[in-house]
Amino acid sequence: MATIFAKTDFLSTLRAYAPWAVACVCLYSLLKAVYNVYLHPLSRFPGPKLAVASLWWQAYFDVWEKGSLSLKLVELHATYGNIVRIGPNQLHFSRPSAYHEIYSSRNRWSKDSHLYDAYVDTSSRSTFTLLDYESAKKRRDFTMNLFSRKSILEVQSLVQECVDEMCDNIDDHIANKKSINFRRAFRCCTLDTICSLCFGCTTNALSASEFRSPVEHALETALSIRRIFKHIPGAMTLILRIPPDLLTYLQPDTKGHLEMNKMLVEQVRGIFANPQTLANADHPTVFHELMKAKDQSIFSEQAFLDEAWLFLFAGTDTSSDALTVGTLHVLGDHHVYAKLMKELLEAWPKLDDRPRYETLESLPYLRAVVKESLRFTHGVVTPLTRVVPPEGAVISEEFIPSGTVVSMSNIFVHTNEEIFPDPHAFKPERWLGPAAGSLDNWLVSFGKGSTELHRNQSCALRDVPRLREPLPSVRHAAEWCEPVGLALGRRVHACV
């Protein structure tokens, strides 16, 4: 009896106070919005009032409008100028010089949690999601070795094997007069390459019929979910706590993600239970490098898993997008196609005598095509946020106060008319002229500065197409695309 009375009391108290609580929250939000618009230290910077008032504007844009923030930013800069306030505490820049001011290797600015927390699935973080520079560097120092030029040259046959498997599967499509989804083909190729290179295992994505691999599909789905979860802190962690069977029942697209996770968990547990298993590997993997860590924050099953997932996410889309877009443009432009084929045929007269990477990297037109493909896909278009350090900073000739979240999307560099005249045209030649050397400074697909893992690779990139990408396929792709194009007409292009 007493309990019933207590419950009734509680409910009636709740009913009495709930409207007041809601009113207080609304009033607080309103006052905060007014403060953000008129009194905040960034109030002198222009921007849409709703964006400046609250981060909900970005959430509305991403979740409700399903728009592209980067494209919206182009509009905003056209209206408001070089610096736009896109959140209460957030500025976005468009002048190319600002890119180097924000992402300079001298800066060791922290990453901003609002963006990077969307990529944290567990209580621990990976090199990518660790916010402060020093902790990320400590972790990155281990895996960097795997991507030195020397290491990459030693494992080039692994990349070739994946490319060959992709080409075989494509040949089957041609023989069966089936159209080919190049995007999926390249995604499966980069996925299998990364698994083989980084973990010494495979998901067999490349042998999947029509390149419909569950893991590839799950990676794709997870990316689009993250854009929404960025605005709901902890959502991803919560979802991954749902029992796997229930999750696949509720959301069948997650099947591949769970399969991949199971495979990695088993591998990592196996390594921890018996580190000797690594001795049997054909080549060093991410796990070999991480095993060298003495620090408990790195030497744990969870940290190994976090890094493994990072490599899968970081390497699959970025590389396959560049390959897809590059192939599409090469095939769509007879002049580019003919020039590339001529160069490749001279260096690679017999299809079965595959040249080594060292030969391919010395081909100037191929290099130019790769760079133009990287420029066209931008790497990452989301503005990667950094936090201005306690002493403040000057960016784009303006003093920016400490704690401000600053960023610049790569697209503002890559489509700048002064740096890349006629920026929306695919012109590999721009990388070959007398001014080409200075252009490299403006190829920012890999970011600049603090992402040292890529600094290593960008060095290689300066001289070469990166080995980690299955570039030898360009010649092979060009060879089979001609007959496929004839046989299937526009369908091939339509599904790219």
Task: Write out the residues near ligand HEM by the rule CB under 6 A.
Answer: 127-128, 136, 140, 194, 198, 310-311, 314-315, 318-319, 322, 374, 379-380, 384, 445-447, 451, 453-454, 468
CB of 430 to ligand HEM, least distance (A): 18
Query: Secondary structure of the chain: what % helix, strand, coil (to 5)?
Result: 65, 5, 30
Please answer whether residues 163 and 355 qualify as being in contact, where contact means their C-beta atoms are separated by less than 8 angstroms: no
Q: For residues 316 and 396, which CB has a smaller minimum distance to ligand HEM in the complex?
A: 316
Tell me how far apart the alpha carbons of residues 164 and 206 are, in angstroms, rounded to a whole number. Answer: 10
Q: For residues 61 and 103, which CB has a smaller minimum distance to ligand HEM in the complex?
A: 103
CB of 343 to ligand HEM, least distance (A): 21
Residue 86 — φ and ψ, nearest 5°?
A: -110, 5
Q: For residues 248 and 416, which CB has a smaller minimum distance to ligand HEM in the complex?
A: 416
Amino acid identity of residue 130, one-letter, is L
Question: What DSSP string describes 319-331?
Answer: HHHHHHHHHHHHH
Tell me how far apart the alpha carbons of residues 48 and 68 are, in angstroms, rounded to a whole number. Answer: 16
CB of 419 to ligand HEM, least distance (A): 18
Name the one residue in this structure whose structure tokens are 């570039």. 471
CB of 140 to ligand HEM, least distance (A): 5
Amino acid identity of residue 292, one-letter, is K
Terminal-residue alpha carbon distance, the chain: 69
Question: What DSSP string describes 69-96?
Answer: HHHHHHHHHHHH-SEEEEETTEEEE-SH
CB of 384 to ligand HEM, least distance (A): 4
Distinct helix (H) and strand (E) counts, the chain: 24, 7
Q: Which residue of this chain has its Cβ atom nearest to ligand HEM in the complex?
A: 315
Please count the CA atoms within 13 angstroms of the CA of 130 that sit on its side-chain side: 20
Q: For residues 159 and 488, which CB has a smaller minimum distance to ligand HEM in the complex?
A: 159
CB of 244 to ligand HEM, least distance (A): 26
Please answer whether residues 179 and 173 qualify as being in contact, where contact means their C-beta atoms are separated by less than 8 angstroms: yes
CB of 199 to ligand HEM, least distance (A): 10
Q: For residues 36 and 203, which CB has a smaller minimum distance to ligand HEM in the complex?
A: 203
Q: For residues 165 and 307, which CB has a smaller minimum distance to ligand HEM in the complex?
A: 307
Q: For residues 173 and 468, which CB has a smaller minimum distance to ligand HEM in the complex?
A: 468
